[in-house]
Structure 1
Amino acid sequence: MEPELNGAAAEEQELGWGRSLPVPSVQEIVRKDPNCVPERYIRGQIKRDEISELPELHIPVIDFSKLSGGDEAELNKLDLACKDWGFFQIVHHGISEDVLYRVRNAMAAFFDLPIEEKKRYAMADNDLQGYGQAYVVSAEQKLDWNDLVYLMTEPIRRRSYRYWPTTVRDFKDALTTYSDQAKRVAMQLLSHLSLLMNMNREGLLNLHGEMGLGMRLNYYPACSRPDEVMGVSPHSDGSSITILWQDEDIAGLQIKHEGEWIPVEPIPHALVVNIGDAIEAWSNGIYQSIEHRAVTNERKSRMSLATFVIPDENAEIGPLQQMLDATLLPKMYRNVKYLDYIRYTLARKMEGKAHTHLLKLEQE
């Protein structure tokens, strides 16, 4: 029987956002037998005919330096990217190659540790920080082909350093440096989105309250049956926005656009950004969170680092008055306390955008 990831640190009694059931380490399964794919991971043939092969279909690319410099054309490009795609890549974002290199090496060093060492940082029974798995809510559901570490980095008081591996020498400094830079990028993006949503630059930041950052470090082992498993099931993010660094030498992220799955080809040193459910609610659906997934491959493992920008637990998400029009765009979403929403989403398995029905009003 494979070692289970979750379940350690049960002494922490404070109620968290949710929990995930213990599951085997996929990395350990592959280490013991590269050809082994347990039945619980197999979903049947994934429909490859739904994946677009049109070379011109790429998510938009935003020049962050132009955007930060007040370029009106780049701001309009951001608006269209959020309306038409919900995803875009940013280049010239100011996070140095050295910072990206360090955080990638720190992640790789952690996942290279022996399983018994990694289990020292396993998730508590009642929360999702640490090494383990997420969105596992039943013993029957199909599992994703990945291992992960989830850590809160902002606000600083939310950091649980006992989940930060001390045996990886540069882990804390590399992750902290990257978090600080990702926060800068996030705050600037939110200021531009505030202007597009007819607010002053601080509008979305004020709506967040005490803004949080949650980081999900993903490891996707190579898989001998990649057409029958999922790296991450289709879902949208419960964040306001998500900033993703992904390995540059192999694609895995796909987004759903007009009924087709579009691969997101990595651009060296670029970051992928997507709209989350919170901004979908605040914008009354003008900007929508988009279903996305990760696929696996036979050749090599892959890593990614998702930084979720999270409203304060007591923040309220729901349509802003300036995003409403009684005739053209009536109120489409209800107002919900963010803590209630995120606990609801984390208590469910990933099923596309099924969880967003909690936000949506019935329309006649």
Structure 2
Amino acid sequence: MGSNSHESPRTHDSVQELAKELKLNVPRHYIQEHREPTFVSNNSSSPLPSIPVIDMNDFNNILQSNKDPFINLRAACQEWGIFQLVNHGVDKLLIKKMKEEVLKFFNMPLEDKLRYKLVAGDYQGYGQTILHTQDQKIDWADRFYMITNPVHRRKSNLLPEFPPVLRDTMEKYLCELQKLAMYLFGLTGQAVEIDKQEMIDVFEDGMQSVRMTYYPPCPEPDLVIGLTPHSDAAGITILLQVTEVEGLEVKKDGVWIPVNFLPDAFVVNVGDILEIMSNGAYNSIEHRATVNATKERISLAMFFNPKLEADVGPAKSLVANTGAPPLYKTQVMEQYLKDFFSRKLNGKTFLERMKIRYGEATQT
């Protein structure tokens, strides 16, 4: 008896393994019926807009510069909410090794990766999209997500149980990106008149996590999505493109624009929490990931958040320095995370929930 088009096959623990078997039709639960198209320029005289580039050397040599790099940084965070960071100072050999080890992880036999498999009720570990409803669509990707800081919140069966070279490389990488993130928090805060000490008090030794993502090739790439459109519930996200296959897209002025990664650059995007702390001066960018018809794509994202006990709201120093009324409520970070991971936001995004509307009380 013939099979129906897009009939669901047997259950897979991994989209990567499914993609190896798949020849023609994508299973129905991966198909996105209403995926918005990517913007394509048909006019060579008006090429696709590209996300801004921030050069850290401009800040290191600010006294010798005849331009104010803070103006460019603020414009990038306000108009786009995302930028490529060059001359960031992280050792190129460490980045190269990190890429190699992430690739090795996803190339391990499935039974080895399943040692880190997501368990029911948890959100840390290896697996596919976490399902919250029965009819939810599944992203065309396998992920490994874990909390890395505070150290005492790490799960003993994840990073500590990694293959030794991957574990050691990851630890060094986390350390370097932690330094970079704190430097960026200082710069982005200064650009909107947030006192440096307030940024340190909120973010130093804060909640940090990492996500490795594998996007397998798909025979019908326009029918699926690698990563569902969203904004990050973070202060900032620092993204490393592991393979040269691109797929990250951002929504600007209502259209989806592909990001063309520069060699040796990180992509940094503003998250919900930095938008809130900037009192709306910055834009928490909506983004997604598409997939390729013939090639795999791999990325490594690090998320930097406030301390769990910190109050998340418009920065007190910014409100005092500018005299602007707060546009968002204030909430303790740990409570927000509990709500976020249990999806108790009553159908609203974090930003929607935190915005203060006229006549609405300012308390949470």
Task: Describe how 1:272-283 pairs up with structure 2 within 5 A.
Answer: 272-283=267-278
Q: 2-side partners of 1:165 and 1:228: how far apart?
A: 38
Q: Is the 8 Å Cα contact of residues 236 and 353 (structure 1) preserved in structure 2?
A: no
Q: Distance in 2 between matches of 1:92 and 1:353?
A: 38
Q: State the match for 2:19 in structure 1.
A: 30
Specify the alignment match of 1:14 in structure 2: none
2:3 is matched with which residue? none
Kindly state the Cα deviation for residue 160 of structure 1 after the two structures are TM-superposed.
2.4
What stretches of structure 1 of length at least 5 have no aligned partner?
A: 4-23
Equivalent residue in structure 2 for 1:61, among 42, 53, 67: 53
How far, CA to CA, are the matches of 1:202 and 1:322 in structure 2?
A: 10
Check the 8 A contact 2:124/2:147 in 1, yes or no: yes
1:100 pairs, out of 90, 95, 100, with 95
Match of 2:251 among 247, 256, 280: 256
Give the superposition deviation at 1:329.
4.8
| TM value normalised by structure 2 | 0.86
- Going from structure 1 to structure 2, the CA distance change for 1:43 and 1:103 (only over 3 Å counts) comes to same
**Could you tell me how far apart the structure 2 residues matched to 1:66 and 1:135 are?**
41
Q: CA deviation at 1:35?
A: 3.2
Partner residue, 2:29: 40
The aligned amino acid for 2:78 is K
State the Cα deviation string for residues 84-128 of structure 1 (Å, max 9, x = none). 110000011112221111111111111112222111111243432
Matched, 1:269 2:257: no
Contact 1:319 1:331 in 2 (8 A): yes
When normalised by structure 1's length, the TM-score is 0.86
Aligned CA RMSD, in angstroms, stands at 2.6
Matched residue pairs, number? 343
Matched, 1:207 2:202: yes
Asked whether the 8 Å contact 1:100–1:178 carries over to 2, the reply is yes
Letter in 1 for 2:91: S
Tell me the CA shift for residue 183 of structure 1.
0.8
Question: Which whole-Å CA distance do the structure 2 matches of 1:203 and 1:322 have between them?
Answer: 7
- By how many angstroms is 1:137 displaced? 1.1
Residues 356 and 134 from structure 1, CA distance in 2 versus in 1: closer, same or farther, beyond 3 angstroms? farther
- Would you say the 8 A contact 1:29–1:36 is kept in 2? no
Distance in 1 between residues matched to 2:32 and 2:93, nearest whole Å: 39
Counterpart contact for 1:165–1:171, Cα < 8 Å: no
Cα-to-partner distance string for 1:199-247 (whole Å, 9 max, x where unaligned): 3323212123631220000100001111111100000011101100114
Kindly provide the amino acid, as one letter, of the partner of residue 197 in structure 2: E
1:158 CA drift (Å): 2.6
Residue 162 of structure 1: SS of its match in structure 2? coil
Within the alignment, does 1:145 sit opposite 2:137 as a pair? no
- 1:234-261 alpha-carbon deviations (Å, 9 max, x no partner): 0001110110011452211001111111
Partner of 2:182: 187
Which residue number in structure 1 is paired with residue 110 of structure 2?
115
Aligned to 2:330: 335
Distance 1:191 1:324 in 2: 17
How far off its partner does 1:356 sit? 2.2
Worse-superposed segment, 145-154 or 120-129: 120-129
CA shift, 1:187, in A, is 0.8
| 8 Å Cα contact 2:238-2:269 kept in structure 1 | yes
Partner of 2:6: none
Residue 341 of structure 1 and its aligned partner are, at CA, apart by: 1.9
Letter in 2 for 1:333: Y
C-alpha separation in 1, matches of 2:348 and 2:213:
21
| Cα distance change of structure 1 residues 355 and 136 upon mapping to structure 2, 3 Å threshold | farther
| DSSP 3-state at the match of 1:170 | helix
**Paired residue for 1:11?**
none
CA distance in 2, matches of 1:68, 1:281: 27
Q: CA deviation at 1:279?
A: 1.1
| Structure 2 CA distance for partners of 1:317 and 1:166, relative to 1, 3 Å | closer
- 1:304, CA displacement in angstroms? 0.4
Runs (5+) with no aligned partner, structure 2: 1-9, 360-364
Q: Which residue of the other structure, out of 70, 77, 81, is the alignment partner of 1:75? A: 70
- The one-letter amino acid of 1:318's match is G
Spell out, residue by residue over 1:181-206, the C-alpha distance to the aligned partner (whole angstroms, 9 max, x if none): 11111011011122123233232121
Cα distance per residue 1:271-316 (max 9 Å; x no partner)? 0001111111111111121110001110200000110001122211
Which amino acid is the alignment partner of residue 230 of structure 1?
I
Greater shift in the superposed pair: 256-265 or 125-134: 125-134
- In structure 2, relative to structure 1, the CA distance for the partners of 1:198 and 1:360 (3 Å cut) is same
